[in-house]
Structure 1
Amino acid sequence: MVEFYYHDGKDTPENFTDEHNSGVEVKPEDLESIGVLYFNVESKEELDNIASERNYKNRDEVCLSLKSFNNDIEAFNGKMKQFYEEHYHEDEEIRYIVDGEGYFDVRDKQDRWIRAKLVKNDMLILPAGIYHRFTLTSNLRSIKAVRLFKDEPKWEAINRSSGRDSSARTSYLQAISV
């Protein structure tokens, strides 16, 4: 079952896949206030209904594990480091977990990290423009997920360190300030 909590802020390059649970729970309604939506999806029919309601036209499946990188630990660790770099996208990011588990971290209105631990049947929708990052859990280090898209995917990750604010970021900030 999904878990939402504030990150303890004690991650390092060596332990970022650890739980980092501060002990302070976050409710789904708190996530909704920053535009993040959560669904528990038990069937393909439910997934298809959500996709239809939200006008998602395309999808694919992604598998992340050491095996999916042909056991190339350097390539695997490089990709995990890239996903953990704080960034946003100009489109929504939608993930439905088919198997495995991982953490999505999102920034709240006070710029604190909220960690969502997702497992099988969890679906998370991140709005365009929200700062976030992703990692696998340290105990499983494997995930299989369906990615949904409204149109053709736009994969540009705009890293926070770049200082670049696009119209998606500006629109997001305006939406959550209301």
Structure 2
Amino acid sequence: MVRAWFMNNETTDQRLEHHLNPPVFLNLDELFNNTGVEYFKISTETFETDGVLNKIRHERGYSYEDEIICSKECLQDYDEKLKIFFTEHLHTDEEIRFIVEGSGYFDVRNGKDDIWIRIEVVAGDLIIIPSGIYHRFTLDVKNYIRAKRFFVGEPVWTPHNRPSDEMSCRKEYLKKLETGFKCN
């Protein structure tokens, strides 16, 4: 099961679990209500044949898929890429990741208080980060993750670093934060 907790505004060491002491954990409903982040547990053993992942892809209109491996051996310009991934940004489309192997952290901003929430992801976790939310990603101390990425239509890779408050996707996200998120 995914773990999520409020954390400090730590920016110097992205691989350590900096959190409030003691950590304040959120359950999945609290995570969704505070951020709009959706979570699904998928079997890494049977996802290619059991239909669960395909059902989510079909219902949400994900038509493009690829895979990324983040490790020193597999990712070109590894150190630079991790710095880019860890820079606070948003996207105009939702960010969907299914973790096949390894582990890492997605940090998202709590919309109400602008506090970081760290979401630990491990094999079998599928996370959907809504468009317009400020977020970042880093690996944990294992320095390895293999994830499938999904998109509606052609992938849009453009991160918009903070501040990007005037973007329409950010305004739409803030409006959903006020009125309440609805599960897709």
Cα deviation for residue 11 of structure 1 reads 3.9
- Assess, with a 3 A threshold, how the Cα gap between structure 1 residues 69 and 61 changes in structure 2: closer, same or farther: closer
Q: Describe the SS at the equivalent of 2:127.
A: strand
Partner of 1:3: 3
**Aligned partner letter, 1:165:** E
Q: Describe the SS at the equivalent of 2:176.
A: helix
- Assess, with a 3 A threshold, how the Cα gap between structure 1 residues 25 and 105 changes in structure 2: closer, same or farther: same
| Displaced runs of 4 or more, over 4 A | none
Q: Describe the SS at the equivalent of 1:94.
A: strand
Cα deviation for residue 164 of structure 1 reads 5.2
**Aligned pair partner of 2:19 in 2, 18, 21:** 21
Pairs within 5 Å for 1:5-154: 5-12=5-12, 15-22=13-20, 23-33=23-33, 34-42=35-43, 43-44=46-47, 45-69=51-75, 75-108=77-110, 109-138=112-141, 140-154=142-156
CA RMSD of aligned residues (A): 1.3
Is 1:170 the counterpart of 2:171? The answer is yes
**Aligned partner letter, 2:134:** Y
Cα deviation for residue 19 of structure 1 reads 1.4
**Residue pair 2:99, 2:122 contacting (<8 A) in 1 also:** yes
**Number of matched pairs:** 170
- State the identity %: 41
Cα deviation for residue 2 of structure 1 reads 1.7
Task: Show structure 1 runs of 5+ residues with no match.
Answer: none
What are the Cα deviations for residues 25-64 of structure 1, in whole angstroms up to 9, with x where unaligned?
0111122112110111113221111111111111111101
Cα deviation for residue 165 of structure 1 reads 2.5
| TM-score, L = length of structure 2 | 0.88
Cα deviation for residue 167 of structure 1 reads 1.0
Q: Describe the SS at the equivalent of 2:154.
A: coil
What are the Cα deviations for residues 85-106 of structure 1, in whole angstroms up to 9, with x where unaligned?
0000000000000000010000
- Assess, with a 3 A threshold, how the Cα gap between structure 1 residues 113 and 58 changes in structure 2: closer, same or farther: same
- Choose 101-110 or 24-33, whichever is displaced more: 24-33
> d(CA) in 2 for partners of 1:116 and 1:28?
10
> d(CA) in 2 for partners of 1:106 and 1:69?
23
> d(CA) in 2 for partners of 1:81 and 1:11?
11
> d(CA) in 2 for partners of 1:69 and 1:121?
21
**Residue pair 1:11, 1:20 contacting (<8 A) in 2 also:** no
**Aligned partner letter, 2:19:** N
**Residue pair 2:8, 2:115 contacting (<8 A) in 1 also:** no
| TM-score, L = length of structure 1 | 0.91
**Aligned partner letter, 1:152:** E
